[in-house]
Structure 1
Amino acid sequence: MIYVVIPVHNRKQYTRTCLQCLRGQTYPSVQTIIVDDGSTDGTDAMVQTEFPEAVLLKGDGNLWWTEATNVGIRYAFHKAPANEENFILTLNDDTEVGPDYVAQLLATYREHGPCLVGSVSVDSANPARLEYAGTRVNLRWTGEVDLASQQYQNQYSRLKSGPTALRSDSLPGRGVLIPFRVLHEIGLFDSRRFTHYMADIEFSVRAHKAGFPLMVSVLAVVREHVHATGLDVKGTLSLGQFVRGMFSMRSSTYLKPRFYFALRHSPTHLLYFLLDVARMFTGYTLRRYKSRTLKAGL
């Protein structure tokens, strides 16, 4: 059985679309678990009325992504049949998938498992644009190579012409198939240190260190609404907004989880963290410069 765990909060239309995609999966043994963390927009009523086959669990608004995901995982542990190979599939509600999505993830697992299997992601507004296809990570010096841009020039057609699965050094939680045995061996997502952002990356790195390969299934494609997630960190932000984002739990540049990640996984600890902060400022500066240059050229 595959248990799809989706944390949601006040994005009813995204949640509806995502659930419609999951309802049409060709793989039959799928149970969707929605963890509604205190939505006030009628998400819970919509799920109960339109998708009665989904399990609806509720939070009070303080679970955030990580603990909401753990709530769904614990429910799956309790309900899973003992005589089957069971999986968790983490997924965000601002995503859409094709009917063979789950089947493709499972096919990659059957070929390369035991492992974690992540998804390729593309821009829902432009599916030819590749957003994610794995990473190469240097845990000593905070170097990270984004394969989507560096190796495939953000073109899904280039990726699709190669192997059907790629190895990665980390995986985002936006579509990751996790066998129960991994969770039993390394534990759940760390909701104390990684409340919202980086819990997925930290978990995948922890699993990799425990000996489980991280694979990306080229044919398991997630169409993501790229402007719907978190705080915008593009060059349109002022310096003040960018700095404030480093102290906001809603921001991907939030410093606290990055500090804990450095302490837990990098052999250089504080140096890794400082280099990571420097890398973020450098990236922001370059994006800001590019944004101003484009405006000046108009």
Structure 2
Amino acid sequence: MAVISIIIPVRNRKEYTRHILDQIYTQISQTNLDNISVIVIDDGSTDGTPEIICAQFPEVKLIQGDGSLWWTGAICLGMEYALEKLSSDYFVWVNDDISISEEFLMNLNDICDSPVNCNRIIGGIVRDRTYPDWIVFSGMVNKKLIRSLDFFAKEETKEVDTLNGNIAIIPRSVVDKIGLPDSDKFQHYGGDFEFVLRAKNAGFSVVLSRKIQAITDYQMTDFIRYMPPWMQWKIQPNLSKRKEIIIGFTNLKSHYNIWHQVNINSYGAKYIPSWKYFIFYFRQIIKVLSSDFWSQNKIDQEINNYFKQQNVPSAIAKAIMSQINSK
């Protein structure tokens, strides 16, 4: 059987960490899949996460950071460990805030044991618990996120351009050829997209499979924080919240921070001059502020089109529009 390493980056979310590890080890014990190892990279948690791991899950290979790794740096450390210490054939990225399907590890093992998958990256899908037909994390085709199960109407596995890192299966052949994710340019956001794009450009296939599934409790607030900044600006009711949106452009925890956006837009460039970041920043600030002068029809049309693209459940869409119109 293939040697598989599940790599989970965590920080200060002990209940999430406990939950995902409990699921994984329950399935391992039920299926006798002793070819699967779990590597957890704890990036400086102060809430007792590493202590819980050591006490309740002694089988975990625990790597501890100092709080400066972020997502991509943690993933790289885990992959290095899996490569050098465990001689892994497959590296499996898993985020801690999901609940894996009952057949997750069996399907994972079948995928990794199939010779057809030794040269392709396979992504899984994460669905919302309340609205299970809504895919909240998956992949992208033609710069559009895959949000509906209709994508798999004819095939269980389909080719895509890139993947979210919430669930991704990477064969060793990919790492041997292109190395690890770029933790310098993409410290927190974008490390998954960039790595998968680089693999595809190197000739590897990238597919999304509905056989690898999980669910998560995706709240309306989660959806809002991934909306474009100007849309968030229209939703937020007060100055303090709007200030947070502006700060987000220079906050690594924000998906729209300028380094992530400029680096992914300039993907493949060997050098990106600093002025590009400044120009991008000021253009985004102007767009956010100018949205206060747009007609309500334009705002409604833009946001409703966005909802349609994202396959947003009607209850969530109505609640957000009600919040905007009540301002």
* 1:191 maps to 2:183: yes
Q: Structure 1 residues 67, 224: CA separation in 2 closer, same or farther (over 3 Å shift)?
A: same
Q: Secondary structure at the match of 2:163?
A: coil
* 1:129 maps to 2:134: yes
TM superposition score normalised by structure 2? 0.74
The answer for the alignment partner of 1:218 in structure 2 is 210
Aligned partner letter, 1:241 = E
Q: Structure 1 residues 293, 55: CA separation in 2 closer, same or farther (over 3 Å shift)?
A: closer
The answer for the alignment partner of 2:100 in structure 1 is 97
The answer for the alignment partner of 1:140 in structure 2 is none
Aligned partner letter, 1:90 = W
Aligned partner letter, 1:135 = M
Query: How do 1:233-244 and structure 2 match up within 5 A?
Result: 233-234=226-227, 235=232, 236-237=235-236, 239-244=242-247
**Bigger share in helix:** 2
Q: Structure 1 residues 129, 233: CA separation in 2 closer, same or farther (over 3 Å shift)?
A: closer
* 1:116 maps to 2:108: no
Q: Secondary structure at the match of 1:252?
A: coil
**Is the radius of gyration larger for structure 1 or structure 2?**
2
Displacement of 1:3 in angstroms is 0.5
* 1:55 maps to 2:57: no
The answer for the alignment partner of 2:14 in structure 1 is 12
Post-superposition Cα deviations, 1:8-59, rounded to whole Å, max 9, x if no partner, equal 0000000111111211144712100011111011101111111111111101
* 1:76 maps to 2:104: no
The answer for the alignment partner of 2:322 in structure 1 is 294
Q: Structure 1 residues 240, 214: CA separation in 2 closer, same or farther (over 3 Å shift)?
A: same
Aligned partner letter, 2:259 = K
**Paired residues, number:** 277
Displacement of 1:226 in angstroms is 3.0
CA distance in 2, matches of 1:11, 1:172: 20
2:168 to 168, 176, 183: 176
* 1:251 maps to 2:244: no
Q: Structure 1 residues 89, 292: CA separation in 2 closer, same or farther (over 3 Å shift)?
A: closer
CA distance in 2, matches of 1:229, 1:67: 23
Post-superposition Cα deviations, 1:121-151, rounded to whole Å, max 9, x if no partner, equal 10134333222443113xxxxxx21232xxx
Displacement of 1:230 in angstroms is 10
Identity across the alignment (%):
26
* 1:146 maps to 2:152: no
Tell me, which stretches of 5 or more residues in structure 1 are unaligned? 138-143
CA distance in 2, matches of 1:229, 1:8: 18
Tell me which moved more, 93-102 or 238-247. 238-247
Displacement of 1:74 in angstroms is 1.1
- RMSD, aligned CA: 3.3
> Does the Cα contact within 8 Å between 2:137 and 2:164 map onto a contact in 1?
no
1:87 to 73, 86, 90: 90
Tell me which moved more, 53-62 or 26-35. 26-35
Q: Structure 1 residues 211, 292: CA separation in 2 closer, same or farther (over 3 Å shift)?
A: closer
The answer for the alignment partner of 1:232 in structure 2 is 225
**Runs of 4+ deviating beyond 6 Å:** 228-231, 288-292
Displacement of 1:297 in angstroms is 7.6
